[in-house]
Every structure is written in structure tokens, then in C-alpha cells.
Amino acid sequence: MFLGVDGGGTKTAFCLLRADGSIVAQATTASSYYFSEGINLVTRVLEEGVGAVCATAGITPADIDFAFFGIPTYGEVSEDIAALDAVPRDVLGHDRYRVDNDMLCGWSGSLGAADGINVISGTGSMTYGERAGRGLRVGGWSELFGDEGSAYWIAIRGLQAFSRMSDGRQPAGPLLDVLRDHLELSADLDLIDIVLNRWHGDRGEIAALSPLVTRAADQGDEAAAAILGEAGRELAHLVETTRSRLGYPVEEQVLVSYSGGTFNAPQVREAFRQHLHTLHDGYDLRQPMYSPVVGAALYAAKQAGGPLSADALEHLRTTPTATAA
């Protein structure tokens, strides 16, 4: 029994997986992005999620052979690593686990833990790639001065476009009414009150506005469409940098996939695909094989020394729904 945990800026997902490729239980809890509330938040989220999947499966944490916990921002504060590494020990009651950044969940799920590069664009953005046993991260420098192409990045540029349209500094488009209606603005300047005073600049709340930029683009808003196109190009550049730094020869084919809610926008996916192939003609872009949380469970099995067989992986692909223990 392998446990995968995929933390994120908006939610944390849990998946219990058998060695035969059947999903035993799944659960979703709150975000495990702990920068605003401290590491105790991670403890609470993991206790709730592990308790939920174990209850569904009819097991105890002691029955979990190995677990992988992908925690957002892991590795970005050196002083926190030891504390984060220790959290699952109290939750599980044993040491059969590994903790790392949640970027590994997206990579493992999208590519089935095979060599290649996965680009993640959810609340934040980054790439993770592996080649010949070497792993590399590019991007993910926070919403303040990084995370290009992420939902937060898109939303902030959407808000900037809204302010310029409202002022008359650029032509008005559908984005104005899309945001006015969604946020129920009595006056355009109320946007400041909502984002700064009510939300306190919360990255998750702001990132959740990203689909509204997509909606405006669907309605013909040129500024919104330009934002989504630029997001795709930024994400492609992350992949190209990762390929170069991992030392892929020019003639070697590179598997590429993606994960995260930003890729739900067709405009972002298409811009990403187009720009990717202008940067290097050896990219083999594939749709994600499994979700990030399933990827976390697959990675747990790999870390335990028992990666799933080809038959088990095929079973997992064809029967994705959870079954009773």
C-alpha cells in the first residue's frame, strides 16, 4: 500500500495505491502552503488527509508500506527542511516515507516517473526534469518576482489590464464586465478594497481569478488573449532552460508534459505547444498520464524499491476510480 500526497497552494490531495495499480482511497484537504501560517499547518493538513484515506480504506497508517509527501515550497527555506522532514513521522508513526517539493508529484504523474521534463502551472509555476538519474528544478521563485505563466501571474496581469481599461489607458474589452460581474463591484475602485483589504493579497484568492481572464479571452478580449499567449511562452521557456541545463544533446528526443490548472485554458496550452517547438524540434509533448497525486503514490512505490509493473500501470490508466479496501 503506497500513499501519495500532493500539496499545493489551494488544496492538498491524498491517494492510497495498491501495487496492482488499483486506487484504494482518495481525499482532499486544505492548502499545505505554510508560509503564512507556519509549519503547524502542514501537520494539521496531513493528519486530516491521512486519517481520511485510512478510514476509507479500513487500515491504519502502520499498514502503509511507503509514503511520499510533496509539500509546496519545500527546499525554499533551508531552516525549515528538518522540521518538514519530521512532520510525517508523527502522522504515520513510522519512518517509511520521503518528503520533497510537490513538483515531483506533477513530474511523476505526467511522465510516469520516466526521464523528461514536466512544467507545472497552478497557483505558481516551475519545471522539474530528470535525465540519467539527475533531477533539476527551474523557476518557482514566488509570486512576488517569479512564477511566470502561473495562475497568479495571469490573474495579476488581468487585474492590471482591468485598471488600465477602467482608467481609459487602454481600450476597454470584455474583461471589464467579466470582473465587475464576478466580484460584484459597485464601483471599479472597489477592486482595491477586495484584493488588499478583504483578501489581504492572498495568493490563492488572486490566482483563482485566472479563469476569468480565460473567459474574457473567449469573449474576444485582445488584452486577455495576449496575457494567456505570453503565459504559454513563459512556460515553454522554462522547459527549454531545463533541457539545456540537464545536458540533453541536440539530437536527443525530450519527453515533455504538463500539470496544473492553468493548462485547462486551451489558449495557454496552444501557445505553450507552438512556442515549445520553435525553441527545439526534438520535444515530444505528451498529455499527462496520471494526476499529480497519483504521481506521488507512484513515486512512493519507486522510492520503496518496488515501482509498479507495466501491467499495474495499465490497470491504473484504465481504472482510475477508487475502490474499497
**What pLDDT, in 10s, does the model give residues 68-107?**
999 988 999 999 999 999 999 999 999 999 999 999 999 9
> Residues 6 or more apart from 261 whose CB is under 8 A from it?
121, 122, 151, 210
What CATH number did the domain enclosing 185 receive? Answer: 3.30.420.40
> Same domain, yes or no, for 134 and 182?
yes
> Same domain, yes or no, for 156 and 187?
yes
- Per-residue pLDDT band for 257 (boundaries 50, 70, 90) equals very high
Considering the domain boundaries, does residue 120 fall inside one? yes
**Confidence check: pLDDT of 36 > 80:** no
- Residue 8's pLDDT is what? 81
> Same domain, yes or no, for 163 and 17?
no
Helix axes 151-167, 222-245, angle to 10 degrees: 150
**Confidence check: pLDDT of 320 > 60:** no
Q: Extract the C-alpha cell encoding 70.
A: 510533496
Considering the domain boundaries, does residue 216 fall inside one? yes
Considering the domain boundaries, does residue 324 fall inside one? no
> Same domain, yes or no, for 121 and 30?
no
Mean pLDDT of 125-150: 94
Considering the domain boundaries, does residue 247 fall inside one? yes
Mean pLDDT of 251-280: 95
**Confidence check: pLDDT of 324 > 60:** no
Contact 280, 95 (CB under 8 A): no
Residue for cell digits 484584493?
195
- pTM score: 0.85
Query: Percent of the chain having pLDDT more than 70?
Result: 98
> Same domain, yes or no, for 275 and 134?
yes
Residue 85 domain boundaries: 2-112+290-318
- The DSSP bridge partners found for residue 4 are 15, 68
> Same domain, yes or no, for 53 and 184?
no
Mean pLDDT of 170-185: 98
